[in-house]
Structure 1
């Protein structure tokens, strides 16, 4: 007797088809980057549209702020301005002294690099990766590998760029690492993310390494990815177990990764000389053609 309902696709066939598709996607993963970039560029306007309700709410909150709140904010800003002015005066004296020491040593002074303020449009919902989406992309000159900081320290680096937006991988992501040095004694180490927003780790730290709780870690400049001297994290614990080959060192990022809104995109110091050189070459080419 024939069954009333015909049997569907067998589980073995489904499993085989899933394995074949998985292998194809793994092999073609590297060739799908242009497709991902194109899709991201197409979806960028939708991200702006999705950001409109939040922007309207922010505008409404600012519009309905009371006079007393504005007066308190103005008073607090004035106090902070006075404190910053006093610190700026001290830093200016230190900068002049540093310039004189560099002149004595014959060391070049670093020029101010190009910087652009960007706003966070979206926070990643992926439980395995930690990244944010900014409202600047290729049109602004953003590039893959570009360092990103906030008012407290290093936030991460750009890993994907479309025409209007860019994706920033946070330093707390488990796949992220950044070379650092201890400001107290210039010991060079590497800080890695743990997948937790407020916790970083330093792997393969020898037990004899001079590192203490409270040490400030800043970017070392090695690898030519992050500029030297930007604050990254502060050491929170150092555990030296006799049964382990290395010390267990954890640190806390200085940037408030759980509530970032405005970030700073930084360009290399040599971008302006390169641009000037390209302009000079183009001018020479124009002159030769005209002759």
Structure 2
């Protein structure tokens, strides 16, 4: 029944909507038969996959970027940790190297000090410097060895270069030494080249000694080495004292005055050697203990002693 304004459906409308469906079904059937016969679908999928690879690569790019960034940060943190560890190891090794260098320098200083007594029959005792007074009118040093260490007044003091001075005051734990360049100090010297004897006086300067009243006939020249003569017994003979730097007449024109530079390192060094002749018996040290007797010899000696006692007792009973 038809109502006004609502026309009845026509057959051509239903057929028009069904024909495309039938066409799709027919095409799909043909494609399936062709794929079954010739495998065209597999080849098409291969070509389509090659064309789709850029799309897949672009789709996976954000994930790769995230993974790469994570690896980069992880590697950077690991490198930072390794860098910090290596820096700490470098600091530790540097401090150890500095200590080894300090020990090597100290060893070299001690070798030089001990080398200064080579060839002499002397007792030598090492002492450290704990205080220095280089005032022009008072040049003295304080040592960390005293009477408890067998230091005595008048003992000569040397370093790797030569004579430094002598001990003038001793306490149980410390001692005071007068330096070679003190204005109140004098040491008998001898010119190594000619054997000329003289007296070297301190001038208050660490770089100068004065040798006055040398006869005009005395053979002394610039560059001559001065050594201790041993006269007076205070300083052992043969130790370097200085090198002559100038020779000139005195005010009276009757004698010659020489000036020498000290051989000792008065403004450097932290250790000195206190030396004395072996004949003095100073610093000879306590006698060595007897060598230990092996345990077997002890047992054998005890057995022999026991046998001797037993024999003596038997002899007493017999009597």
Q: What is the TM-score of this pair, normalised by structure 1?
A: 0.57
Alignment match, 1:247: 256
What does 1:177-192 align with in structure 2 at a 5 Å threshold? 177-192=186-201
Deviation for aligned residue 1:260: 3.0
Change (3 A) 1:65 1:164: farther
Give the unaligned 5+ runs of structure 1. 1-62, 96-109, 277-291
The DSSP-based 3-state class of the residue aligned with 1:221 is coil
Higher alpha-carbon Rg: 2
Q: Distance in 1 between matches of 2:209 and 2:106?
A: 32
Q: Distance in 2 between matches of 1:263 and 1:257?
A: 11
1:152 aligns with 2:161: yes
Deviation for aligned residue 1:68: 6.3
Alignment match, 1:194: 203
On the 8 A contact 2:125/2:283 being kept in 1, the answer is no
Q: Distance in 2 between matches of 1:273 and 1:203?
A: 33
1:237 aligns with 2:275: no
Q: Distance in 1 between matches of 2:134 and 2:104?
A: 38
Change (3 A) 1:162 1:241: closer
Alignment match, 2:182: 173
The DSSP-based 3-state class of the residue aligned with 1:139 is helix
Q: What is the TM-score of this pair, normalised by structure 2?
A: 0.52
Alignment match, 1:136: 145
Give the unaligned 5+ runs of structure 2. 1-91, 286-319
On the 8 A contact 2:150/2:282 being kept in 1, the answer is no
4+ runs deviating over 6 angstroms: 70-78, 273-276
Q: Distance in 2 between matches of 1:263 and 1:67?
A: 27
Change (3 A) 1:143 1:239: same
1:219-252 deviation per Cα after TM superposition (whole angstroms, max 9, x unaligned): 0000000001000110011113685222121000
Q: Distance in 1 between matches of 2:174 and 2:267?
A: 20
Q: Distance in 1 between matches of 2:100 and 2:130?
A: 30
Change (3 A) 1:244 1:273: closer
